[in-house]
Amino acid sequence: MRLGKLGKIVDELNLDAVLVTYEWNVLYYVGVPRSGGSFILYERGGTPKILTPALDFWRLSDEVGERVEVLPYTTYELPGFPKLIKGRLSEWISKYLSDSGYGRVGLDLSHATPLAREVSERLKNHVVVEDVSPHISTQRSIKEPEEIELIKQALKISEESFTKLLDEGVAGLSEREVAARLDSRMRLGGADGTAFETIVASGPNSAYPHAYPTSKKIGSGDVVVFDFGARFMSYCSDITRTLVLSADEEVKKALEAVSEAVGTATDVIRDGVKSSEPDSAARGVLRRYGLENYFIHSLGHGVGLEVHEKPRLAQGIDETLVEGMVVTVEPGIYIHNKFGIRLENLVVVRKNRAETLNRLSLITSV
């Protein structure tokens, strides 16, 4: 559990209490997965509380032990539950905070959950409400060693599953069938599930950055983009590889350029670097190949409990990379009606360098 980190936010912002409502923030601080509808109420000097639907009360109580107070809530009477909160939860929370005499309360408002909005509205005439979302996202962006190990395991499952998929062969199968096989491989390999909807895009479809698997059959001369990731113990991996079944020289040149862009951008990443600098480095490589105009998205993003987290590696973003962040490096080029190529690695920001977590070669061959 990381509830002590909420105490740091309380101290930094001089708050009396913090209410955490966004599901992934709750998971980050409490460490109990599949707890949708559960919320954290952290008070200065008090015992942290988890407010949870009654049907999850015993599971959460068993998992968190006596470290926190677990309070069940429901809209109707239920016998046998200690300290049952009955009725509208936002009313109970607002009354509790007001009756406690608190003057400053933090909410993770950036994610705009219904409960956060309702509590904020009820408190606005009585309490100063502070949005603590930026402080939470900053804490989440810097991974602890055990978090990095879980991301590594998720990535290992992804890469091994992809290798087995290619060993089986993909030519002649539909994009949809290949995606299903890859998803199944990751599940059988130990994943909780996929980190996001798997992309398998072949031929002209590969030129769509946010393609989705279709009934199109993969041809023997296609370019095929695979963007996929496993979720392990709630942590995500994110990897993209492009399988080139074509001998076309334009495709080979583009693949070489994107691969070089990954390496050059990775070499720039280290503690203290602005998050726009790796993006600029990748674009510089593609510019030399005459391909910069086909790179139409940002270079990368943070990965953790969610597949898109702080920071963003992008033009115009004034964030500083900090040791312990895990980010993607994923340049791509997309030529409409022809082909697209994207390559993506996961790297950890270290003090003087970037540590690439991938073991699978950037260039995929069959």
pLDDT digits 0-9 by tens, 274-283: 999 999 999 9
Domain count, the chain: 2
Q: Which of 85, 119, 139 is a domain's end point?
A: 139
| Per-residue b or e along 215-226, where b marks 16 or more CB atoms closer than 10 Å to that residue's CB | ebbbeeebbbbb
Angle ∠(248,251,252) on CA atoms, nearest 5:
85
User: Does residue 129 belong to any structural domain of this protein?
Assistant: yes
Are the C-beta atoms of 205 and 175 separated by less than 8 Å? yes
Beta bridge partners of 18: 42, 106
* pLDDT value at 183 more than 90: yes
Same domain, 127 and 226: no
Residue-wise over 96-130: b if at least 16 C-beta within 10 A, else e? bbeeeebebbbbbbebebebbebbbebbeeebebb
Q: Estimate to the nearest angstrom the gap between the alpha carbon of 11 and the chain centroid.
A: 27
Q: Nearest CA to 20 among 135, 101, 161?
A: 135
User: Does residue 364 lie within any of the structural domains?
Assistant: no
Q: Looking at the domain assignment, is residue 366 inside a domain?
A: no
Would you say residue 230 has pLDDT above 70?
yes
- Domain that includes residue 262, residue range: 145-356
Residue pair 360/159 in contact (Cβ under 8 Å)? The answer is: yes
Query: Is 0.85 surpassed by the pTM of this model?
Result: yes
Task: Specify the residue for token string 């409502």.
Answer: 21
**pLDDT tens for each residue of 200-221:** 999 999 999 999 999 999 998 8
Judge whether 43 lies within some domain: yes
Q: For the chain, give percent helix, strand, coil, nearest 5.
A: 40, 25, 35
Q: How far apart are CA 90 and CA 202, in angstroms?
A: 49
Query: Is there a single domain that holds both residue 101 and residue 164?
Result: no
Q: Indicate if 77 and 171 belong to the same structural domain.
A: no
Same domain for 198 and 127: no
Q: Are residues 199 and 289 in the same domain?
A: yes
Residue 150's nearest CA partner among 348, 289, 349, 319 is: 348
pLDDT at 82: 76
Res 243 pLDDT > 90 = yes
pLDDT at position 366, please? 64
CATH number at residue 23: 3.40.350.10
Q: Are residues 231 and 118 in the same domain?
A: no
Task: For residue 56, give the nearest of 42, 39, 44, 43 by alpha carbon.
Answer: 39
> Do 201 and 331 lie in a common domain?
yes
Q: Which domain-ending residue is among 94, 111, 139?
A: 139
Average pLDDT over residues 338-343: 97
**Same structural domain for residues 175 and 108?**
no
Structure tokens that stand for 137 in this block: 């996202």
Judged against a pLDDT cut of 90, whether residue 106 lies above it is answered with yes
* Least confidently predicted of 24-38, 87-101, 124-138: 24-38
**In this model, does residue 113 exceed pLDDT 90?**
no
CATH number at residue 284: 3.90.230.10
Q: If residue 111 lies in a helix (H) or strand (E), which one and from where to where? A: none
User: Same domain, yes or no, for 121 and 193?
Assistant: no
Residue 78 or residue 187, greater confidence: 187
Higher pLDDT, 118 or 32: 118
278 and 177 share one domain: yes
On whether both 33 and 106 belong to a single domain, the answer is yes
* Closest to 242 in 3D by CA, of 351, 117, 342: 342
In the listed set 82, 115, 139, which residue is the last one of a domain according to the structure?
Answer: 139
Q: How many whole angstroms separate alpha carbon 206 and alpha carbon 248?
A: 15
* 267 and 177 assigned to the same domain: yes
What is the mean predicted confidence (pLDDT) over 93-101? 93
Q: Is 365 a domain residue?
A: no
Q: Does residue 36 carry a pLDDT above 80?
A: no
